[in-house]
Structure 1
Amino acid sequence: MKIGFIGLGNVGGKLAGSLLRNGFDLTVHDLDAELVASFVAKGAKSTTGPLALMQDCDAVITCLPSPAASAAVVEAMMPAVNADKIWMEMSTTDEGEIKRLAAMVIERGGSAMECPVSGGCHRADTGNISIFAGCDRATFERMLPTLTTLGRRVLHTGEIGTASVLKVMTNYLATANLLTCCEALVTMKAAGVDMNITYEAMKISSGTSFVHETESQLILNGSRDVSFTMDLVKKDIGLFQKIADQAGVPLEISPLMVEIFNDGIARFGERELSPNIIRRLEEATGLSITAPGFPSELFDDEPEEDGYEVIPTGLSAPVSSTAKV
């Protein structure tokens, strides 16, 4: 199968790298010619744009920074979509927009899948990231070998739209964890507790989280480089708030989180690294939240392993749509 990949940024470049590393026939496209050239040097092919990519490939993956960017790309490649083509959206996007674009692909006879990832850029780099896949079961099974190369744990979430909703939810939770970690670290520093001991106390206790065990390390190092920026956080938590508003859920914490990141962007800029939201508290207290011995960037120290489909607790494994009965 020939795979096309559009969007070689912080996440997309690592995901595309997993396909190339595992021997896939890969063609890439990005507005940054240097990124494309780096992939071509490693054995990928290049193309002139989205339309040519869809013409030449069996499946095209998009991993882009905004719903508007995805829409522009998908609409550009639409004339080449037919019954043999698959579009796979790996961006974090809006449920309504993914449904709209998927309907256009399906109307032309093609197949569509949303497959956002979760687990950090460092795990995207090793193929150990988690993937949510929203699509019909037949398309899921057809693309499962590709998905289990891109990630380790793959969850079929149901129809188009469900994966985007779940992905936005997980990013909301990660942001809530980040903000509480920031408050905990600054409060312990102000109380005179050693930061290295504070980190370990949080890590070995009921207060730990994935965000603490990753992003807190980068905060304490001072680099804060998690390859994610405040504008992207604002987009994701805004999408979660939109889901809640549409469902009539009167959230209390979410609006405050949106307010905090709006303030962070006003102070530090929309492209500021997201863990630097702690600077609001550092400036308010005059404290510097750093400690020796922590890394400046994250690396996945788990070996790359074969991926697999995750079967939800309490549910039975689905019968394959291709199984003979």
Structure 2
Amino acid sequence: MSNQTIAVIGLGNMGGRMAANLAKAGLTVQGFDVSAEAKKSSKKDGVAVFDTAVEAAEGADVVITMLPNGDLVKKVLGELLDADSTAKVYIDSSTISVQDAREIGESVYDRGSQFIDAPVSGGTTGAEAGTLAFMVGGTEEAFNQVHPVLDVMGRSITHCGQVGNGQAVKACNNMILAVQQMVLSEAIVLGERLGLDHQAFFDVVSNATGNSWSLSVNAPIPDVVPTSPANNDFQPGFSSALMLKDLRLAMESAQATDTDTVLGKIATQAFEEFVAAGNGNLDFSAVINEVRR
């Protein structure tokens, strides 16, 4: 792995940190982003920055994309495949629909390269610490080929089956997370109105059957866990806008598979309203403020 060249297209909050960890591990990392600020930051982290995605991908063995949506992933990978027919492994760590991932996979395989969808969980904290959880869809061959690269950026790398299955499990996971965050917020507010101290609530529930990541790591109340965005006015580890994006993708898959997701729909509606009210840039745990209101 040490002699591989990795291209990272999308050097934002997640991609920039992932590229930095790859460079720190001694890999040759070539990057591109439309943001001058993102490029400047990545350059400081040891990433060779280029003016276009095509230039960044030139000579790379593995190309990682971390982009805002499926349409942009299709556009960028289309440009890369048109510009360079050399066989590579393309890893898309964006969060996109299952259908988009499978369509992109087919187009990449038709050009003689490998493709895996590898969305992540762990937010910017996990990206910086190199402790992301990767959910991977693709062939066993492609998975084994890129596992050492993913291992640099994550602590959990799970092969979930065919292309698109990474996105499938990401949608399921984040629907669970959103529902947990909603019910946790309701329970905290109920506790407040019953006269419970936040610390007492945390000490009991974090050691009881109601515990969850939403409480033990991302508690929506300040001064009980050091990792909580509530300690910093809900500056996001994972924004409400991104949570809403993931919930919409989950609802899209639910509709396509005729799956009744009652609680998922409720959480989606709650985040629709929360983001529409101008809270999209806050951490998704800030939804507790809407519950209080």
TM-score (ref. length: structure 2)? 0.91
Mark the CA change 1:148 to 1:194 in structure 2 (over 3 Å): closer, same or farther.
same
- Structure 1 segments unaligned to the other structure (5+ residues): 285-325
Q: State the structure with bigger RCO (CA 8 A, min sep 6), 1 or 2.
A: 1
In terms of mean alpha carbon deviation, does 84-93 or 224-233 score higher? Answer: 224-233
1:154 aligned to which of 147, 152, 157: 157
Report the identity percentage.
23
Aligned ranges for residues 270-285 of structure 1 at < 5 Å? Answer: 270-282=280-292, 284=293
What is the SS of the residue equivalent to 1:3? Answer: strand
1:210 maps to 2:216: no
Equivalent-residue separation in structure 2 for 1:17 and 1:102 (angstroms): 26
Mark the CA change 1:38 to 1:221 in structure 2 (over 3 Å): closer, same or farther.
closer
| 2:281 alignment partner AA | R
Equivalent-residue separation in structure 2 for 1:83 and 1:26 (angstroms): 18
1:131 aligned to which of 134, 137, 146: 134
In terms of mean alpha carbon deviation, does 109-118 or 220-229 score higher? Answer: 220-229
Partner of 1:243: 253
1:277 CA drift (Å): 1.2
| 1:246 alignment partner AA | A
| 1:275 alignment partner AA | S
Aligned ranges for residues 67-146 of structure 1 at < 5 Å? Answer: 67-146=70-149
Equivalent-residue separation in structure 2 for 1:211 and 1:269 (angstroms): 19
Aligned ranges for residues 227-266 of structure 1 at < 5 Å? Answer: 227-266=237-276
Larger Rg: 1
Number of matched pairs: 283
| 2:214 alignment partner AA | V
Deviations 1:155-212 (A, max 9, x none): 1111101111001111111111111111111111111110111112121111011121
Mark the CA change 1:199 to 1:243 in structure 2 (over 3 Å): closer, same or farther.
same
Equivalent-residue separation in structure 1 for 2:148 and 2:83 (angstroms): 24
In terms of mean alpha carbon deviation, does 262-271 or 245-254 score higher? Answer: 262-271
1:174 aligned to which of 177, 181, 193: 177
1:42 maps to 2:45: yes
1:222 CA drift (Å): 5.3
1:81 CA drift (Å): 4.2
1:260 CA drift (Å): 0.7
Partner of 1:52: 55
Partner of 1:30: 33
What is the SS of the residue equivalent to 2:209? Answer: coil
Equivalent-residue separation in structure 2 for 1:239 and 1:52 (angstroms): 32
Equivalent-residue separation in structure 2 for 1:152 and 1:183 (angstroms): 32
Equivalent-residue separation in structure 2 for 1:204 and 1:221 (angstroms): 21
Equivalent-residue separation in structure 1 for 2:230 and 2:63 (angstroms): 39
Equivalent-residue separation in structure 2 for 1:21 and 1:219 (angstroms): 27
1:224 maps to 2:227: no
Equivalent-residue separation in structure 2 for 1:23 and 1:32 (angstroms): 25
Partner of 1:267: 277
User: Any runs of at least 4 consecutive aligned residues in structure 1 with deviations exceeding 6 A, and if so which?
Assistant: none
What is the SS of the residue equivalent to 2:41? Answer: helix
8 A Cα contact 1:81 1:105, kept in partner: no
Equivalent-residue separation in structure 1 for 2:199 and 2:230 (angstroms): 9
8 A Cα contact 2:236 2:281, kept in partner: no
8 A Cα contact 2:236 2:284, kept in partner: yes
- Structure 2 segments unaligned to the other structure (5+ residues): 220-224
Aligned Cα RMSD in Å?
1.6
Equivalent-residue separation in structure 1 for 2:254 and 2:207 (angstroms): 33
8 A Cα contact 2:137 2:164, kept in partner: yes
8 A Cα contact 1:53 1:60, kept in partner: no
